[in-house]
């Protein structure tokens, strides 16, 4: 299994090379050179297996033999052993056809744990084998950072620096990052929004001398290994609802496009996911694109669902590459133009093929709270404000055939957003016991301007202190 860049100018790599590189040197994202595919019989053979075993088999399709199967399965067992539910990612039926896929039973109560807990172990395996050390940099709109820090804390072969937008995460999200005082962890609050943080991370990778000096790697969903590790939960949930002998639909709250791209990847591998539904908030660039081919960036607006306060969805580049017939030159030109002008004129044929598969709906803050209230009143189950956009989109855009079940990705525990929950239903969900003292813990983070030089100096100082 080899990987190529969506922009066509970076050398191909194997899985470990992609894992450790993160972003391609040409600014593109790595994708499989060829997609693995499973037959109906092979999908059926995965039914009923423990989550960790399914994850090992699916991720193993993308490692190209670089990790022995028994070692990969051991890493998967270890990654998910500490989750708060025996099923790891249980399904909760909300109505006759809608099922919430609870992805928040990991250590930081968000779906990012599903990939990050495995990713940390994959890094350890690859770096130990190579005798290398890396500096991981990442940008977060709220959940990626805490999940990455939890997965990478205290690991001897790596340092991690996470950028988050100052004042634009929930207090729980921020504290889950900034109260981790491990020596290899650096938290930076950037005076800007998430897109600024993401731009700074990409700029660090584009700075070739800095990238080489720091041995940079990434844990954002720009890293293909993150996406690969998210595919298994769509496989497990679809199989539980009758796939491959029954089609399913998936509804996903979407900001950076990585989570729904994992569902698309499962479909590309042969799983019968007939419809891909996107739930969005007021930062609705993806919904506007699907409705009218309007891929134009607007200022990011804070919302009750801060993890989706994004206008530049990095993972969309992977889908664009596929929809353009894997034309790297065209992909690179469109991405460069989007960066320069804030607009992306996607060719009509590529847009139509995308809009035929993906559907989207956006909610403002009032509608998000109303949907949280509706679901809770109808079922007793409380969605967080991100998941609420997906439950609403699922109701509005579900397939006409009522026999097709809809899987809603429940991406965070409502206790991560207690203010929104209280406004919606009049109660503040309690944090699990292991996080009950979160607001009593010491915080440590630096506040820095939206300046590449200042950010690089902070990352360099952090890495060099630990290397000394």
425 vs 109: CA distance, rounded Å: 20
SS3 content of the chain, % helix, strand, coil (to 5): 50, 15, 35
Please report the DSSP string for 212-238 in residue order. Answer: HHHTEEE-STTSHHHHHTTHHHHHHHH
Contacts 24+ apart (CB under 8 A), 167-170: 168/141, 168/193, 168/194, 168/302, 168/306, 168/309, 169/140, 169/141, 169/142, 169/306, 170/142, 170/306, 170/416, 170/417, 170/418, 170/419
Active site residue 202: no
Asked whether 9 and 26 are in contact (CB, 8 A), the reply is yes
Please report the DSSP string for 366-389 in residue order. Answer: HHHHHHHHHHHHHHS----HHHHH
Longest dimension (CA), the chain: 62
Closest CA to 364 of 278, 282, 424: 282
197 vs 140: CA distance, rounded Å: 7
261 vs 269: CA distance, rounded Å: 12
**Torsion sign, CA atoms 450, 453, 454, 458:** positive
140 vs 227: CA distance, rounded Å: 16
Asked whether 184 and 152 are in contact (CB, 8 A), the reply is yes
Sheet holding 216-218, edge to edge: 216-218, 134-139, 158-165, 185-190, 446-448
Q: Single out the catalytic residue among 112, 129, 202, 416.
A: 112
Active site residues: 112
């Amino acid at each position: 299994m080899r990987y190529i860049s969506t922009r066509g100018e970076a050398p191909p790599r194997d899985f470990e090379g992609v894992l450790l590189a993160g972003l391609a040197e040409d600014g593109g994202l790595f994708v499989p050179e060829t997609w693995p595919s499973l037959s109906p019989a092979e999908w059926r053979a995965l039914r009923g297996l423990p989550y960790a075993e399914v994850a090992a088999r699916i991720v193993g399709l993308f490692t190209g033999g670089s990790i022995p199967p028994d070692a990969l399965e051991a890493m998967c067992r270890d990654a998910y052993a500490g989750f708060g539910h025996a099923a790891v990612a249980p399904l909760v039926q909300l109505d006759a056809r809608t099922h919430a896929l609870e992805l928040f039973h990991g250590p930081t109560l968000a779906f990012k744990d599903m990939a990050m807990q495995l990713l940390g172990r994959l890094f350890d395996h690859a770096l130990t084998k190579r005798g290398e050390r890396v500096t991981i940099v990442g940008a977060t709109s709220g959940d990626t950072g805490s999940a990455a820090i939890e997965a990478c804390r205290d690991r001897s072969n790596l340092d991690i620096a996470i950028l988050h937008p100052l004042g634009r995460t929930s207090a729980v999200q921020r504290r889950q990052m900034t109260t981790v005082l491990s020596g290899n962890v650096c938290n930076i609050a950037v005076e800007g929004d998430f897109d600024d943080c993401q731009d700074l991370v990409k700029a660090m990778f584009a700075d070739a001398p800095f990238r080489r000096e720091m041995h940079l790697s990434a844990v954002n969903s720009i890293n293909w290994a993150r996406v690969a590790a998210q595919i298994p939960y769509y496989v497990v949930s679809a199989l539980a609802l009758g796939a491959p002998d029954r089609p399913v639909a998936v509804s996903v709250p979407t900001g950076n496009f990585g989570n729904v791209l994992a569902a698309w990847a499962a479909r590309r591998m042969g799983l019968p996911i007939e419809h891909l539904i996107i739930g969005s908030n007021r930062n609705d660039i993806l919904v506007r694109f699907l409705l009218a081919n309007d891929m134009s960036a607007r200022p990011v607006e804070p919302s009750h669902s801060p993890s989706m306060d994004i206008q530049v969805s990095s993972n969309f580049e992977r889908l664009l590459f596929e929809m353009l017939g894997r034309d790297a030159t065209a992909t690179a030109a469109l991405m460069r133009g989007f960066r320069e002008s804030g607009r992306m004129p996607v060719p009509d044929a590529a847009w139509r093929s995308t809009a035929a598969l993906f559907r989207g709906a956006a909610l403002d803050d009032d509608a998000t709270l109303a949907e949280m209230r509706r679901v809770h009143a109808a079922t007793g189950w409380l969605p967080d404000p991100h998941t609420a956009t997906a439950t609403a989109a699922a109701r509005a855009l579900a397939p006409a055939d009522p026999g097709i079940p809809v899987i809603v990705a429940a991406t965070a525990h409502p206790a991560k957003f207690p203010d929104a929950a209280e406004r919606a239903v009049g109660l503040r969900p309690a944090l699990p016991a292991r996080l009950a003292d979160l607001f009593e813990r010491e915080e440590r983070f630096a506040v820095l301007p939206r300046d590449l030089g200042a950010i690089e100096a902070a990352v360099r100082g952090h890495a060099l202190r630990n290397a000394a």
